[in-house]
Amino acid sequence: MPITIPSRKTVIQDIKNRGGMVAAVLPIHYPRALLRAFEIFPVEVWGPPRVDVSLGSAHLQSYVCSIVQNSLSFIKMGELDFASLILIPHTCDSLQGLTSVLMDLVKPRPPLFSLYLPRGQREEGVVFLAAELRSLYAGLSELTGRKPTDAELLAAIEREELSDHLLARLYAQRLTLGLGNLDFYRLLRSREYLPAEDFAALAESALQTQVAPQSGTPLMLSGILPEPMAVLDVIEKVNGLVVADDLACCGRRLYQPGLSAEPFRRMAESLISAPPDPTRGNPISERVQYLTDMAAKSGARGVLFYDVKFCEPELFDLPELRRALKEQGLASLNIEVDINNPLPHQTATRIGAFLEMLNH
């Protein structure tokens, strides 16, 4: 059954028509449930692609990634004026730099909130993050005049946990859903802006379809995001099949449910449970283990590191990560893109040659 996914614009308009508040949220990890407990709907901003970057580039060095360049331009163009607030997690130095530029130089703009994420996956990190979430709660209370109770917070948490569970089921059944590479990732990425209950309804409808498994050369995608999304069609045209991913916008946000009955701790436990991620300082050895396990489970024969140009957290890990994967028998290809540019013809040729090599 074909799945109709509403556009970001439609969803935002719909929320506004119902008198709802929208938070524009930058990558990567943040507490969706906390925002929803305040009846604020998160809509993520990953760039977006194909924006006139001249407004942003006036404030940023030319070697800052296109996600940050585009976001700043987008904000300066007034394209986020619909939002009641902007939330910027401290994902990397470039996003922290964006926060400083916005605070000092861009006014008027929606109120700005930031969120610090702990490194690694230790108990101290859970305690630290729970405290950060309490402080965000205080800020949102001041902005909205609301004070959600623990019961309201827990209800919002359970709603997001259900969506996360359905996201994991989509991954588990991806080859029998009858969706091509592009349609599958369109569905996954609707989690970036759909309210959790709407995403859950879409996911449940997609999960009802079961067809014979697709075929093609099995490939894993890693990196930040599949933009331009034409890359997914390109992979399909050269008979590649994406069977797993380690993308920041998708697979790196397969959160486990938290265990605690205390809402802030439970949100922190869940966020910290995400797979290894260079922006959260997981050691390369953990990433190697995670990627080789995922390749073994999914049958992926190689990894396509599809990176945003100038993304420091990704690029720092890459040489050692690729070397270690090669030692484990997992070949890889690295392609860097600027999310504003159309996919160069040469990219298709390189992906085709890589898949050809994996087949021999």
**Binding footprint of ligand SF4 on the chain (CB under 6 A):** 27, 65, 67-68, 91-92, 94-95, 224, 279, 308, 311-314
Of 300 and 311, the one with the shorter C-beta distance to ligand SF4 is 311
Give least dist CB 93 to ligand SF4, A. Answer: 8
Q: Which is nearer to ligand SF4, 154 or 247 (CB)?
A: 247
Q: Tell me which residue of 149, 116, 111, 153 sits closest to 135, measured CA to CA.
A: 116
> Shortest gap between Cβ of 187 and ligand SF4 (angstroms)?
22
Supply the minimum distance, in Å, between the C-beta of residue 95 and ligand SF4: 5
Supply the minimum distance, in Å, between the C-beta of residue 336 and ligand SF4. 11
Q: How far is the CB of 313 from ligand SF4 (least distance, A)?
A: 5
- CA end-to-end span of the chain: 36
Question: What DSSP string runs through 55-101?
Answer: HHHTTS-TTS-HHHHHHHHHHHTTTTTT-SEEEEE--SHHHHHHHHH
From the CA atom positions of the chain, what is the Rg in Å? 20
Question: In terms of CB distance, is 99 or 144 closer to ligand SF4?
Answer: 99
The least distance separating ligand SF4 from the CB of residue 49, rounded to whole angstroms, comes to 12
Cα 158 to its chain centre, rounded Å, is 20
**Given the complex with ligand SF4, which of 94 and 114 has the nearer CB atom?**
94
Closest by CA to 303, choosing from 281, 339, 275, 329, is 329
Q: In the complex with ligand SF4, which residue's Cβ is closer, 94 or 217?
A: 94
Cβ contact 130:264 at 8 Å: yes
> Residue 342 gets which letter from DSSP?
P
> Three-state DSSP class for 43?
strand
Between 89 and 195, name the residue whose CB sits nearer to ligand SF4.
89
